[in-house]
Chain A
Amino acid sequence: DTEVTQTPKHLVMGMTNKKSLKCEQHMGHRAMYWYKQKAKKPPELMFVYSYEKLSINESVPSRFSPECPNSSLLNLHLHALQPEDSALYLCASSQVYRGAKNIQYFGAGTRLSVL
């Protein structure tokens, strides 16, 4: 099973709302990632967690708050977003490994619209 499950599939929120995106995997991977993808653009890395600890933050604004409560779950908490934050948010997971085969498996994404 190479499935990464993201919920919800679609989300519409106002600029004053607080919402959360959820990502789950059961492949035993100890690295998990959040990417942001604007329309017709490539995915851009936001955060990386390794062994449930934040290891990379790509200078993401504080209105995005990641959380990794356990090795299978990754959340992205959203607060006071702007319309330009509307995008497809992708979650990925991989083994933590210093070698070549560090394949990232992606979920289908959450399509977020900020009104």
Chain B
Amino acid sequence: DAKTTQPPSMDCAEGRAANLPCNHSTISGNEYVYWYRQIHSQGPQYIIHGLKNNETNEMASLIITEDRKSSTLILPHATLRDTAVYYCIVRVVSSGNTGKLIFGQGTTLQVKP
């Protein structure tokens, strides 16, 4: 199973873009990159996912390098409510028909006023 490496913590000023990196150098061709976040005392919340192409939704953008060995989650205008632990996850699609999420250690993002 592929593993991910993230910086343990990052700070970001409110209103600025937050760029959260993730290394997944052992990712296989059929494995997707997912990002979840966990606000204190809550369950993880899905943010975005991708395979090869860059993706954007209402919450964030996901940039995946061409060799797929790393990715960056971008929160374009961080707010105080974005303070959370962000998990970069590689999901194995071929594990039955449910998919297995392998959580890394995550990055604690602190958004400061």
Q: Give the B-binding residues of A (Cβ under 8 A).
A: 4, 31, 33, 41-45, 48, 50, 55-56, 90, 92, 94, 96-109
Contact = CB atoms under 8 A, between A and B. Distances in A.
5 closest A-B pairs by CB: A106-B43, A42-B103, A31-B98, A102-B99, A103-B46
Contacts of B99: 94, 102, 104
Interface in B62-113: 87, 91, 93, 95-101, 103-106
Contacts of B105: 41-42
Contact of B101 (A55, A100, A104, A107): A104
A100 B106 CA distance: 22
Nearest to A100: B32
B98 A102 contact: yes
B105 to A, nearest CB: 6
Nearest to B89: A42
Contacts of A55: 96, 98
22 contacts: A4-B43, A31-B97, A42-B87, A42-B103, A42-B104, A42-B106, A48-B96, A48-B100, A50-B96, A50-B97, A50-B98, A56-B95, A92-B43, A94-B98, A94-B99, A96-B98, A100-B32, A101-B49, A102-B91, A106-B44, A107-B43, A109-B42
